[in-house]
Amino acid sequence: MTEREEGSAAGARPTAGSPIDVLVVAGDERAADATATAIGRHDPRVTATATADPDEVFRTLDNEGVDCVVSEHDLPEGHGIGLLETVRDRHGDLPFVLFVRDGSATVASEAVSAGADEYVPKGEFSDPFETLVSRIEDAVSRARAERQLTDHLDRMTDAFCGLDDDWRLTYLNAHASELLDRDADDLLGRRIWDCFPGLDGTALESELRSAMETGESSTFEYHADLIDADLEIDLYPSPTGLSAYFRDVTERKERERELEELSERFQLALEGADVGVWDWNVRTDEVQFDDRWAAMLGYDPSEIAFDLSEWEDRVHPDDIGRVWEALEAHLAGETAHFQCDYRMRTKRGDWRWIRDRGRVVERDGDEPVRAVGIHIDVTDEKARERALERYRRLLDELPESVCEYDAEGRFSLATDRVASVYGASPDDLTGRESLLVERIRETADGDPFDDLVAGDRERLSGTVELDLPDRPETIVDYDLQR
């Protein structure tokens, strides 16, 4: 059930059998007891307490609380209208029924003005106590329903306000007061245009008036300059006015703007690049794949549905386990981004190596909501890596120590034998400067290594003394070829 549906349900009548506590106030104890007894006889679920003592009335209301006050008009001190006014001052909207001996237009008018819930003249009914009990039940039912609705509106996460058909504010819950940064007591009973003059001529005024005139509900977004916030607003007209639910979506709109800017920058960066893009709704598993993503696997975009299964079903079965392991680690926030190399089946049935990189760009608390990323075809790179690995294994089988240098004299490839001399692994050695090249440059005239790189000579050979890790003053024979 939605919050709005719950709000409607809150107006339901309390279930039959709910107990009702009534305080009966009369001019004397005997009359009070007689009325209380008659009430209980007509409806056993109503418990009536009788009193003729004005002080006892408020001790009971203050200490025990009741659901309704039933009062005669003629009291030992004053009259029922005066008691009603005091009850309203001290206990707000507590149901109050005025039970009078004879009907009087004057008393009836005063009762309505003072806020009585019901007015029951005994002489106008064949069984006045049956009528009295029925009016008590109606008043208590309405009060309970209003309290339930008020409690609901105060508990709901949306801000809420009610307007009557003359645009007066009739209700604001705590969230509305907080969002507007205004005290509800300063706004209630006043026309909304007087409370917020800045609404004149705005889109919000247009929406409010349209809803009131047409009687049709509407949902829209509005930037409120008054509080500098983006609001999402639902309007629900009724014959008596208008209900407005609104929530602050400033952070969400800011994220949307940031995502839009990020997407634009991302698309500009990808212009002309052989890169496929995916955009994944993690909650629904809807994934949007761009044209390059589909073409990378030999498909026309129309052949790829926007669903996660279109990707998952094409990943090599030997790779899918580690891919999901890396992906779930990122979704859980354990890694800054997701990256994995794996094979995917093309439309022709062969396998291409894909480098998949992405990250979560939107979360709801800790829950990932949206992730975006790219596919890069690295099949040729993987082929070169395999060829290089075969070449390295071949070199490792040679009896001599063999390595390759780049133009700056850094290791670009080294066999296990060379790496062991340096106390490192072949991968650790890659990119490091060669002690041998440094020594050649120190001991020769000019720079014979640069001459070799430039093609001014075909080879460079000789013998030098090197201080290697753990092996100082080692004599090394070398033969470098371009």
**194-241, pLDDT tens digit by residue?**
989 888 889 999 999 999 999 999 999 999 888 888 888 989 888 888
Q: What is the CATH superfamily name and number for domain 3-146?
A: Response regulator (3.40.50.2300)
Which has more confidence, 29 or 93? 29
Indicate the pLDDT class of residue 12, thresholds 50, 70 and 90.
very low
Angle between helix 105-114 and helix 80-91 axes, rounded to 10 deg: 10
Q: Stretch 342-365: mean pLDDT, rounded?
A: 94
Per-residue pLDDT at 7 exceeds 60: no
Cα 374 to Cα 56, 82, 198, 289: the distances in Å are 78, 78, 47, 10
pLDDT confidence of residue 157: 63
Q: What is the CATH superfamily name and number for domain 157-248?
A: PAS domain (3.30.450.20)
Which has more confidence, 355 or 3? 355
Residues 347 and 355 sit within 8 Å (Cβ to Cβ): no
**Backbone φ/ψ region at 298: left (φ over 0), alpha (ψ -120 to 50), beta:** left
Q: Does domain 387-481 fall into CATH 3.40.50.800?
A: no
Sign of CA dihedral 177, 181, 186, 189: negative
Per-residue pLDDT at 36 exceeds 70: yes
Sign of CA dihedral 65, 70, 73, 76: negative
3-state SS, 219-230, equals EEEEEECCCCEE
pLDDT confidence of residue 76: 76
pLDDT confidence of residue 171: 83
Strand pairing of 68-71 and 96-100?
parallel
**What percentage of the chain has pLDDT greater than the value 70?**
89
Per-residue pLDDT at 5 exceeds 80: no
What does the pLDDT look like over 95-114, one tens digit per residue? 999 888 876 777 888 887 88
What does the pLDDT look like over 391-405, one tens digit per residue? 767 666 666 777 888
Which has more confidence, 368 or 250? 368
pLDDT confidence of residue 325: 96
Burial of 458: CB neighbours in 10 Å, binned 0-12, 13-18, 19+: exposed
pLDDT confidence of residue 351: 95
pLDDT confidence of residue 299: 94
Residues 52 and 25 sit within 8 Å (Cβ to Cβ): yes
Burial of 472: CB neighbours in 10 Å, binned 0-12, 13-18, 19+: exposed
What does the pLDDT look like over 320-332, one tens digit per residue? 999 999 999 999 9
Give exposure, 8-46, as e/b (b: 16+ Cβ within 10 Å). eebeeeeeeeeebebbbbbbeeebbbebbebbbebbeeb
Burial of 436: CB neighbours in 10 Å, binned 0-12, 13-18, 19+: buried
Distance, CA of 260 to CA of 127 (rounded, Å): 73
What does the pLDDT look like over 108-136, one tens digit per residue? 888 878 888 888 888 788 888 998 988 98
Query: What mean pLDDT is reported for the chain?
Result: 84
pLDDT confidence of residue 265: 62
pLDDT confidence of residue 273: 58
Indicate the pLDDT class of residue 266, thresholds 50, 70 and 90.
low
pTM: 0.38
Residue 235, CB-side half-sphere exposure with 13 Å CA sphere:
24
Give residue limits of the domains in the chain.
3-146, 157-248, 274-377, 387-481
Which has more confidence, 81 or 2? 81
Angle between helix 54-63 and helix 80-91 axes, rounded to 10 deg: 20
Least confident of 150-164, 219-233, 435-449, 455-469: 150-164
Q: Stretch 279-308: mean pLDDT, rounded?
A: 92
**Backbone φ/ψ region at 285: left (φ over 0), alpha (ψ -120 to 50), beta:** left
Per CATH, 157-248 and 387-481 having the same topology is answered yes
Residues 10 and 45 sit within 8 Å (Cβ to Cβ): no
What does the pLDDT look like over 465-477, one tens digit per residue? 888 887 788 888 8
Fold of 274-377: Beta-Lactamase (3.30.450)
Least confident of 11-20, 74-83, 281-290, 301-310: 11-20
**One-letter amino acid of 323:** V
